[in-house]
Structure 1
Amino acid sequence: MTVKLIYETHSTTLDNEQGIATGWLPGRLSEAGLREAAGLGVRRREVDIVFSSDLRRAVQTVEAAGLTVPHFLDWRLRECNYGSLNGSPRKALEPRAERVHTPFPGGQSYWEVMELTRSFLEDLKRWHDGKVVLVVAHSANRWSLDHLLDSRASLEDLVAAPFEWRPGWVYEV
């Protein structure tokens, strides 16, 4: 058996709308984000369980989705910690590919985020085999999933590519 993992990024935040890289700061959904979260709830009714980052914007996305299945917070699903750049303009993080192995000042590297995501996936396989699992987290976690579950995708290429929102990604774990 396998786990069907449906991945969704948290909905749009006030920081997203202002071009701010929130990192490990909590963040808060905008009005548009609240509407997006409601749409997530409509399209993801078939899930058995939800895991999300413990950062406020991801938790708020799940709460606003109105799903009635169990929801668990997991700190391993946090966005990359940009350290002293948490809350900076998004452009201050560029070029991101340089941060795959080198941590942000006072923060993490994308490789460290990928290793935490790998640990989460191992637990998911062990405890939720045969389930449909929704994960609501951040862009760094999606890049990690793409790298871990599609060996053709280098983490350097993934973090350097522009982020394009879509209504979820589906993986088999």
Structure 2
Amino acid sequence: MRLILTRHGETIENVQHIIQGHLPGRLSEKGLDQARKVAERLKDEQIDVIYSSDLARTADTTKEIFKFHPKTPVHFVRELRERYLAEFQGRTREELGLKKDESKEKLQSKTIESFDQMYERSKKFLDSVLHKHKDGTVLFAGHNGINKAIMCVIKGKTPQDILKTENFGNTSITIFEIDEEKNHTIHLYNCMKHLA
């Protein structure tokens, strides 16, 4: 399977340093522009199916991509949602005592989705899609955290490695070939040249 992985455009909440998790999020003007640019970049790709997070910030990004792929089936799914951050959602990084570049993945609580849970969610979903579309080209439109978890699953890393994985830029593109045994070749990683 050829897998194209992207992330939603910048949100108003990103700019305001608000933790989103499962909150819908709203694309900023810049984020909408990023969504249009990634859509333009992907317009010539032969995409057989699109799976997108059902959260508004990613769904709105996906809708821009869909404009160039109107006959491609699109599925808005919960499995590609960002990590559930419970009581931290809707609060600013400052309120939570996080420095500007400090990862929100460090937040701990019994009510938030654990790295193990997010990893398992990613693994189940990826395995299901690999089984259904092993010879196709699939686009996943997700979020930073879930995309990091997917990369850890593909690379055979542990749930604890999610925190150590490089962040994905807004509307970045990662492309790789992968088989059901998770043998993979990365062709492009976290590329944002369409935003230059």
Q: How does 1:158-169 map to 2 (within 5 A)?
A: 158-160=162-164, 163-165=167-169, 167-169=172-174
- Counterpart among 123, 132, 141 of residue 136 in structure 1: 141
Matched residue, 2:112: 107
Extract unaligned runs of 5+ from structure 1.
Answer: none
* Compared CA separation, residues 10 and 104, structure 1 to 2 (3 A): farther
Q: Residue 169 of structure 1 aligns to a residue in which SS?
A: strand
Q: Residue 170 of structure 1 aligns to a residue in which SS?
A: strand
1:123 Cα shift? 1.0
Q: Could you tell me whether the CA contact under 8 Å between 2:152 and 2:161 is conserved in 1?
A: no
Q: Could you tell me whether the CA contact under 8 Å between 1:7 and 1:168 is conserved in 2?
A: yes
Matched residue pairs, number?
Answer: 167
1:63 Cα shift? 0.9
Matched residue, 1:31: 29
1:149 Cα shift? 1.1
- Counterpart among 61, 73, 76 of residue 73 in structure 1: 76
Extract unaligned runs of 5+ from structure 2.
Answer: 179-196
1:107 Cα shift? 2.2
**TM-score, scaled relative to structure 2:** 0.76
Q: Which has the higher helix share?
A: 1
Q: Residue 163 of structure 2 aligns to a residue in which SS?
A: helix
Percent identical: 27
State the Cα RMSD in Å.
2.2
1:160 Cα shift? 4.4
Matched residue, 2:42: 44
Matched residue, 1:54: 54
Separation in structure 2 between the aligned mates of residue 27 and residue 61 of structure 1, nearest angstrom: 11
Q: Residue 27 of structure 2 aligns to a residue in which SS?
A: coil
1:104 Cα shift? 3.4
Separation in structure 1 between the aligned mates of residue 63 and residue 150 of structure 2, nearest angstrom: 23
Separation in structure 2 between the aligned mates of residue 115 and residue 53 of structure 1, nearest angstrom: 16
Q: Could you tell me whether the CA contact under 8 Å between 1:7 and 1:170 is conserved in 2?
A: yes
